[in-house]
Amino acid sequence: MKMNALYDVYVEQLKDMYSAEKQLVDALPKLAEAASTPELQQAFEEHLSVTRGQLNKVQALLDDINENPGNKVCKGMQGLVEEGNEVIKNGGSPVTRDVALILAAQKVEHYEIAGYGGLRAYARVLGFDEAAETLNGILDQEYEADQKLDDIAEGGVLDAGLNEESA
């Protein structure tokens, strides 16, 4: 798609985020299964539910402007999901794997924060006020997910004998 106007970028990036959310719907169950702590498993499972809702919201935003997500593949998310898969494949101690899973998941959240933050700004400039509010809500959810991962890491996973296990 040629991008000659802000609207073109907006549509292309909505499609990109739709693909990103679809990929996460597939990836999050694998992360939950690989996590060793119940708190981290639950965080991934809860975010799966949130992600499904976000996927529906992005689809609705595309529907509102008569656009179809098509078969665009978000290459950025594809790479981030692959990083998470590598953590799972590498094995190692459960605590160390959880720490690596948290970091992989936070990279995803930061990617989404950047994407939704830009889309919210574009929607505002384009006069899509309702879309901007929807995007702001999704952005808030991404910040909450990132904070929850911080809390899990700083609230115990990083202190759970990680240094002793690596010695």
Which pLDDT band holds residue 154 (cuts at 50, 70, 90)?
confident
Does the pTM of the predicted model rise above 0.85? yes
Closest CA to 15 of 82, 67, 79: 67
pLDDT in tens, 8-22: 999 999 999 999 999
Among the CATH numbers 1.20.1260.10, 2.40.420.20, 2.60.40.1930, 3.40.50.720, which is that of 6-161?
1.20.1260.10
Ranges of each domain in the chain: 6-161
Spatial CB neighbours of 4, under 8 Å, sequence gap ≥ 6: none
Distance of alpha carbon 3 from alpha carbon 10, whole angstroms: 9
pLDDT in tens, 95-126: 889 999 999 999 999 999 999 999 999 999 99
